[in-house]
C-alpha cells in the first residue's frame, strides 16, 4: 500500500512539474505586457489567470480555442489538461501552513438564461476552484452589486478584503465576465532587524524617491547571472520550505524591460538551477517595505499575447453556442500583498567563505514561488518608491 501511495505521489509530482513549466512560460509575457500598461509598477498572479483561462478553454472551439492554447502553452488533450490542472492546484493551494497562506479564487459571471453546453463543465469548475455566479445580467446595476457582494462575502471567510472588482461596463447579457482574486499572506523565515528611510534610484542611479528600507543578514542562495545582467536572491518564507520570494535586481544601467527580453530565452528553471548550485553565502540584504493592491482589466495585455477572438462577440466561438451570441467582455484581477519586516526567527548566520550584498535600491522584479513545483504564484515589478 505504501508503495502504491509513493507511485501515485511521484506521478502527481511529475504532472505538476509539467504544468508548472507551462504556466511559468506564460508568466514572463503576462507580467511584461501587464506592467507595460501600468507604467512599470505592477503585481499580478500569473497562476490565477492561467488557471482560470485554462478552464475557460474547455468552453471554446475553433480559432478562439487555438489562441488560448498558444498563449497559455497548453496541451491539446482535454483529459491531460483537467487532471494536470487539478493536481497543480491541489499542490499550490491545498496545503497552506499556519504562517503562510495563499488565497486564489476564480469567478465566472454569466446570465442566468445562458447555458454552458460543455459536458460536466460545472463539475470541472468546482474541482479546479472556479465559482460560477448566475444572475440576470439585463439588470446590470443590480448584477454588478450582487456579483461583487458574493466575492466579498466569500473572501471574508478567508479574511480577504475583496474590492468592488467588477464594473458595470464589464458585464453583458451575452457575456462571460471572468474575475480572479488573490491574496498572499506571508511571514519570512528570518525577520528583518531594522527599518530606515533611504533613497531609491532609477537604473541610471538618479534618485526618484524614498523608501522604508529593511535590513537583514542571512545565509541564502544569491548569484550574479550574466545572461540576465542581474543579481538574483531567494528569500524563504515560513519554516516548511513551501514558498520563497525570488528577487531579480538588474545591473546598473540595465532596465527591467531588458531583463524581460532576456527571460524569454533564459528560463526560470535555469535561474533556479544556478541558485541551487551556489555555495553557502552570507548575504547582506536591503529590501523596501511595501504594500500593493492592484485591480487590473486584462483584456489589453492578453490581446498583446495573441488572445483576440475571446473578447469579440463577432468572432468568439464557444462549444455548441451559435456564433455572435457569447463572448468575454472583461477579465479582471485583484492582487493584495504586503512585504514587511516580520519573520519567525532571528537565525545565527552560518559561517561561509562567500559573502554578497543585495541592495534593492532601484527597480527590481519579484516572484513568489511554490517550491515543490516551482510554480510562480505572484509576480511583480517594484519601480515607484513610497515610504510605507
Let me know if 202 is exposed, middle or buried by CB neighbors in 10 A (0-12, 13-18, 19+).
middle
Residue 243 lies in a domain: yes
Q: How confident is the model at residue 341 (pLDDT cuts 50, 70, 90)?
A: very high
Q: Which three cell numbers stand for residue 99?
A: 504562517
Q: Residue 253: give its domain's CATH number.
A: 2.30.39.10
Express each pLDDT in 273-327 by its tens digit.
999 999 888 999 999 999 988 999 999 999 999 999 999 999 999 988 887 789 9
- For the chain, what percent of residues have pLDDT higher than 70? 86
Q: Residue 35: give its domain's CATH number.
A: 3.30.497.10
Residue 387 lies in a domain: no
Residue 109 lies in a domain: yes
Residues 78 and 43 in one domain: yes
Residues 67 and 214 in one domain: no
Residues 205 and 259 in one domain: yes
Residues 248 and 106 in one domain: no
Query: Structural domain of residue 264, as residue ranges?
Result: 188-289+340-382
Specify whether the backbone of 48 is left (phi greater than 0), alpha (psi in -120 to 50) or beta.
alpha
Residues 45 and 146 in one domain: yes
Residue 332 has pLDDT above 80, yes or no: yes
Residue 110 lies in a domain: yes
pLDDT at 325: 85
- The tally of domains found in the chain comes to 2
Residue 144 lies in a domain: yes
Residues 194 and 296 in one domain: no
Query: Which of 337, 352, 368 is at the close of a domain?
Result: 337
Q: How confident is the model at residue 2 (pLDDT cuts 50, 70, 90)?
A: very low
Residue 89 lies in a domain: yes
Residues 170 and 266 in one domain: no
Residues 239 and 298 in one domain: no
Which H/E stretch holds residue 78? Answer: helix 78-93
Residues 217 and 283 in one domain: yes
Residues 299 and 172 in one domain: yes
Express each pLDDT in 207-240 by its tens digit.
999 999 999 999 899 999 999 999 999 999 988 8
Residues 47 and 78 in one domain: yes
Residues 296 and 283 in one domain: no
Amino acid at each position: 500500500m505504501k508503495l502504491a501511495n509513493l507511485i501515485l505521489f511521484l506521478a502527481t509530482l511529475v504532472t505538476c512539474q509539467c504544468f508548472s513549466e507551462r504556466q511559468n512560460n506564460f508568466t514572463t509575457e503576462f507580467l511584461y505586457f501587464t506592467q507595460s500598461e501600468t507604467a512599470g509598477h505592477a503585481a499580478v498572479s500569473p497562476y490565477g489567470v492561467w488557471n482560470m483561462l485554462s478552464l475557460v478553454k474547455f468552453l471554446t472551439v475553433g480559432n478562439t480555442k487555438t489562441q488560448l492554447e498558444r498563449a497559455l502553452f497548453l496541451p491539446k488533450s482535454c483529459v491531460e489538461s483537467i487532471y494536470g490542472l487539478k493536481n497543480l492546484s491541489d499542490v499550490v493551494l491545498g496545503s497552506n501552513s499556519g504562517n503562510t497562506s495563499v488565497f486564489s479564487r476564480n469567478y465566472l459571471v454569466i446570465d442566468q438564461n445562458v447555458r454552458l453546453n460543455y459536458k460536466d463543465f460545472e463539475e470541472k469548475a468546482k474541482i479546479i476552484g472556479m465559482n460560477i455566479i448566475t444572475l440576470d445580467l439585463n439588470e446590470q446595476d443590480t448584477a454588478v452589486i450582487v456579483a461583487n457582494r458574493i466575492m466579498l462575502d466569500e473572501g471574508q471567510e478567508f479574511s480577504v478584503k475583496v474590492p468592488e472588482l467588477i464594473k458595470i461596463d464589464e458585464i453583458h447579457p451575452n457575456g462571460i465576465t471572468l474575475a480572479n482574486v488573490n491574496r498572499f499572506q506571508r511571514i519570512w523565515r528570518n525577520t528583518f532587524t531594522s527599518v530606515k528611510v533611504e533613497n531609491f534610484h532609477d537604473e541610471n542611479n538618479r534618485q526618484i524617491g524614498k523608501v522604508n528600507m529593511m535590513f537583514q543578514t542571512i545565509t541564502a542562495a544569491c548569484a550574479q547571472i550574466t545572461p540576465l545582467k542581474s543579481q538574483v536572491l531567494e528569500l524563504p518564507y515560513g519554516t516548511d520550505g513551501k514558498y520563497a520570494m525570488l528577487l531579480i535586481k538588474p545591473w546598473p544601467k540595465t532596465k527591467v524591460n531588458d531583463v524581460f527580453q532576456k527571460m524569454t530565452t533564459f528560463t526560470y528553471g535555469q535561474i533556479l538551477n544556478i541558485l541551487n548550485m551556489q555555495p553557502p553565502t552570507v548575504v547582506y540584504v536591503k529590501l523596501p517595505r511595501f504594500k500593493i493592491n492592484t485591480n487590473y482589466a486584462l483584456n489589453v495585455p492578453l490581446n498583446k499575447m495573441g488572445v483576440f477572438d475571446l473578447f469579440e462577440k463577432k468572432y468568439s466561438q464557444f462549444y455548441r453556442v451559435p456564433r455572435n451570441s457569447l463572448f468575454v467582455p472583461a477579465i479582471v484581477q485583484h492582487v493584495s500583498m504586503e512585504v514587511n519586516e516580520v519573520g519567525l526567527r532571528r537565525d545565527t548566520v552560518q559561517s561561509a567563505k562567500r559573502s554578497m550584498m543585495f541592495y534593492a535600491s532601484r527597480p527590481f522584479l519579484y516572484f513568489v514561488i511554490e517550491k515543490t513545483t516551482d510554480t510562480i504564484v505572484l509576480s511583480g515589478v517594484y519601480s515607484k518608491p513610497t515610504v510605507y
